[in-house]
Amino acid sequence: MNFKEELTKYIDIINNELTKYLKKEDCPEHILNESKGYSLMAGGKRLRPILIIASYNLFKDDIEKCYKFAVAMEMVHTFSLIHDDLPGIDNDDYRRGKLTNHKKYNEATAILAGDSLLNNAYNLIIDDISESDDNEKQSKLNALYELSYGIDRMIAGEYVDTEYEGKQISSDYLEYMHENKTGALIKASVRIGAILANADEKDLNKLTDYAEKIGLAFQIKDDILSEIGNEKELGKPVGNDKARGKCTYVTKYGLEKAQKMLDDIINEAIEIIKNYNEKGEFLIELEINKGVIIMESDINNIPTHIAIIMDGNRRWARARNLNVSDGHKKGAETLENIAKYCNKIGIKYLTVYAFSTENWKRSKEEVGALMSLLRFYLDKFAKRADTENIRIKVLGDIEVLDKGLKESILKAIDRTKTNTGLTLNIALNYGGRAELTMAVKRIAEQVKNGTLSIDDISDQTISDNLYTAGQPDPDLLIRTSGELRTSNFLPWQIVYSEFCFKEKFWPDFNKSDIDEAIQIYQKRNRKFGGK
């Protein structure tokens, strides 16, 4: 499963279904209809309807049967956002980077647009129930109750948030507020999907526990982003909650503790969904991506190509009184995990620095052990990479490597050459200056034999003669271990890459670190030398 593709598919389904219910005709209330469409199609994450479909899909494959409930849920959510932004509640000027409904139109229109969307949601579900056979009606009535109860709890949570703005509140009140304000509709979404699929009581209880955790995760993540995100990402000013005296998980516990709470809750939620094996994979990835987590705009802003300088294996081992080879073994395991994760979230190219031309200066014992390890893991990983649809390529001069390692490299390349997922470039016996020298020699040879004119030599000519020919340049370069240099790695290709330096040693690097690096990347304003 490619998480990015699956998430995009779900979002497209919801958006296509929503457009069916937007009235286009010219009528006296056409401005009201326009106002509804303005907020409904403003680019939301569609998390709640996606949860309905994904929860339903845990048990049944005919997901189209829950589309109307999914659409209705998004209408309800949009109604809540329109009213939440009003002067009498949060008085926000922007939502998702656009003017809020009452700022775009006026307060009266915004109120009525929200009211109308709520009514439209109920009408849609009632029509769905009336058209259903007797076997489906009871489950749909139960799902309708879940929706109504979720709306009631959401309103209760919103009241507590409004009533206690600027006041100190207990941890219990904070949890109650967010359990209802944010978590109620998320919980309802997961339960609705399961109820429509006729899940038994045991499964329904499990999913309820899962839903409560991701509802809380969503709110904590939102609180964190409100503190350290950027206005473009949030669609509203950063620090708005603090300025208005709102009690959040960040203002209550501090940023570091809030982040730890988020990670713990996500892990707990994942443990629940693991019981559903392959069927639960999408929901697991949704959590891993804190996808709360991934915004629709973020989907289109995930880097195509990530490069990593995997530094710190030896220091990691020495800090634990282990052999250096143990550090390299743990580093190899980390690489496999990171490659699989990048493939799942839609990264197209991952280039890693495994062994540089300068690494030959290390002791013969270490180099020998590292080469043996590389051969072992290439043979082992090539099989798993093939099942994961990962393509393996090697950058560097492999002709000087021993025969056994060279054979393993060529076998891995050949075995995975038709795969269409992530391309994993392993830089092995690689040096950036050596690569550029090689490219210059190749170009000179082309000029010499008359296949290339000097006047035709361009930047692209050089790119076409590098190991990475045909691939886009890295969008993001990550280096672990705290070192702040590029160490002769991809000097031509990274001229416009965004850099992210991590203090962690490579063996400790994990999926959350990739998430964080991507979030940092998404906050950068890439100008490429322009304004």
Tell me if 394 sits within 8 A of 413, measured CB to CB: yes
Q: Which residues of the chain have pLDDT under 50?
A: 230-239, 243, 290-297
Query: What mean pLDDT, rounded, does the chain reach?
Result: 87
d(CA 406, CA 412): 10
Query: Would strands 391-395 and 349-356 be described as parallel, antiparallel, or unpaired?
Result: unpaired
Distance CA 214, CA 258 (A): 14
Of 260, 263, 348, 251, the residue nearest 303 (C-alpha): 348
C-beta separation of 2 from 343 below 8 A: yes
Read off the amino acid at residue 71. Answer: V
Backbone angles phi, psi at 355, to 5 degrees: -155, 120
Tens digits of residue pLDDT in 71-101: 999 999 999 999 999 998 888 888 766 789 9
**Residues designated as active site:** 311, 359
Q: For 477, phi and psi rounded to 5 degrees?
A: -110, 125
pLDDT at residue 379, rounded to an integer:
87
Residue 295 is predicted with a pLDDT of 38
DSSP per-residue codes, 87-153: TTTT--SEETTEE-HHHHS-HHHHHHHHHHHHHHHHHHHHHHHHTS-HHHHHHHHHHHHHHHHHHHH
Residues 391 and 423 sit within 8 Å (Cβ to Cβ) = yes
Q: Which of 153, 146, 203 is nearest to 176 (CA)?
A: 153
Query: Alpha carbon of 493 to those of 285, 354, 432: distances in Å?
Result: 30, 17, 9
pLDDT of amino acid 512: 78
Yes or no: domain 302-523 corresponds to CATH 3.10.580.10: no
DSSP state of 472: P
Sign of CA dihedral 55, 56, 58, 64: negative
Enumerate the domain spans of the chain. 3-298, 302-523
Identify the sign of the CA torsion 96, 215, 254, 513: negative
The CA distances from residue 154 to 75, 76, 98, 176, 319, in Å, are 14, 11, 24, 11, 50
- The secondary element (H helix, E strand) that includes residue 355 is strand 349-356
**Which residues does 297 contact at the CB level (< 8 Å), separation at least 6?**
43, 233
Please tell me the predicted confidence (pLDDT) of residue 531: 54
Beta bridge partners of 308: 352, 478
CA distance 214 to 287: 7
**CA 369, CA 267: separation in Å to the nearest integer?**
35
What is the SS3 assignment for 244-268?
A: CCCCCHHHHHCHHHHHHHHHHHHHH
Q: Can you give the pLDDT at residue 486?
A: 96
Taking the model in full, what pTM does it have?
0.58
Helices 183-196 and 171-181, axial angle in degrees (round to 10)? 50
d(CA 166, CA 163): 9
Q: What is the pLDDT of residues 38-69, one digit of tens each?
A: 998 887 788 899 999 999 999 999 999 999 99
Q: What is the DSSP string of 162-193?
A: HHTTTS---HHHHHHHHHHHTHHHHHHHHHHH
Domain 3-298, what fold? Farnesyl Diphosphate Synthase (1.10.600)
Q: Could you tell me which residues come within 8 angstroms of residue 286 by beta carbon, excluding any fewer than 6 positions away?
A: 3, 7, 50, 54, 214, 293
C-alpha pair distances (Å), 307 with each of 249, 353, 494, 525: 34, 8, 9, 19
Give the number of other Cβ atoms within 10 Å of residue 153's Cβ.
19
Which pairing describes strands 98-99 and 349-356: parallel, antiparallel, or unpaired?
unpaired
Half-sphere exposure of 3 (CA within 13 A, CB side): 24
User: Rounded to an integer, what is the distance from CA 205 to the centroid of its chain?
Assistant: 27
Exposed/middle/buried for 33, CB within 10 Å: 0-12, 13-18, 19+?
middle
Which residues make Cβ contacts (< 8 Å) with residue 519, sequence separation at least 6? Answer: none
Instruction: Count CB atoms within 10 A of the CB of residue 516.
Output: 16
